Amino acid sequence: MNRYPMPELKDVPEDIRQRILEVQEKSGFVPNVFLALAHRPAEFRAFFAYHDALMEKEGGLTKAEREMIVVATSGANQCQYCVVAHGAILRIRARNPLVADQVAINYRKADITPRQKAMLDFAMKVCLRSHEVDDADFAPLHAHGFSDEDIWDIAAITAFFGLSNRMASFSNMQPNPEFYLMGRVPKQKK
């Protein structure tokens, strides 16, 4: 279904193979985005360096909040791969089996805090009407305790996943079936 060939693991450069093997080790499968982008090693490296710089860094946003931005952005851009894959990650990060679907469909009705709604309002403005962002958009974020560096994080995550959404949609990237159920069923204690 993917429009471009996905290389086999044995054919990708060593550093990329290592990264993929680590993900496989951690998740139990290789998310298709890794193989799809491995088609272009230089872009693969830049993409994941950017991803990690935004998603793994310290700061005022929790990891779950970062994933909320990804899911809301991907919903606005109607990106199937990213809503399904990052919806799974959001459920796990937020330890909440319901929130990802809510944020993807209409974050305004999601069971999130007013601070998180303000965060997503801003993300959606950057996503859909970045040319209209002005000083008045920063005030409600400051009022909710976001620093200017946090606001950069919100904007940058939105912008980066706008790139990701366009790459996934244009190339018809398919979400792995595993993502659909991840984080939905509470793990049973043994």
Q: Applying CB under 8 A, which residues contact a copy of itself? A: 1, 3-4, 40, 42-43, 45-47, 49-50, 52-54, 57, 75, 77-80, 83-84, 87, 97-98, 101-102, 104-106, 108-111, 126-127, 130-134, 138, 148, 152, 155-156, 158-160, 162-167, 169-172, 177, 180-181, 184-185
Neighbours of 157 (CB within 10 A): 23
Closer to a copy of itself at the Cβ: 63 or 101?
101
In the complex, what is the shortest distance from the CB of residue 189 to a copy of itself, in angstroms, rounded to a whole number? Answer: 18
Write out the two tokens for 144.
Answer: 């909710």
Closer to a copy of itself at the Cβ: 17 or 39?
39
- CA 80, chain centre distance (Å): 12
Contact 157, 69 (CB under 8 A): yes
In the complex, what is the shortest distance from the CB of residue 104 to a copy of itself, in angstroms, rounded to a whole number? Answer: 7
- The span from the CA of 114 to the CA of 106, in Å, is 14
Closer to a copy of itself at the Cβ: 116 or 164?
164
Closer to a copy of itself at the Cβ: 25 or 127?
127
The amino acid sitting at 97 is P
In the complex, what is the shortest distance from the CB of residue 181 to a copy of itself, in angstroms, rounded to a whole number? Answer: 6
- The span from the CA of 70 to the CA of 137, in Å, is 20
Contact 44, 35 (CB under 8 A): no
Contact 73, 158 (CB under 8 A): yes
In the complex, what is the shortest distance from the CB of residue 47 to a copy of itself, in angstroms, rounded to a whole number? Answer: 7
Closer to a copy of itself at the Cβ: 133 or 143?
133
In the complex, what is the shortest distance from the CB of residue 128 to a copy of itself, in angstroms, rounded to a whole number? Answer: 10
Closer to a copy of itself at the Cβ: 25 or 65?
65
In the complex, what is the shortest distance from the CB of residue 88 to a copy of itself, in angstroms, rounded to a whole number? Answer: 11
To the nearest 10 degrees (0 to 180), the angle between helices 80-94 and 99-106 is 140
CA distances from 61 to 81, 103, 130, 145 (A): 24, 17, 21, 11
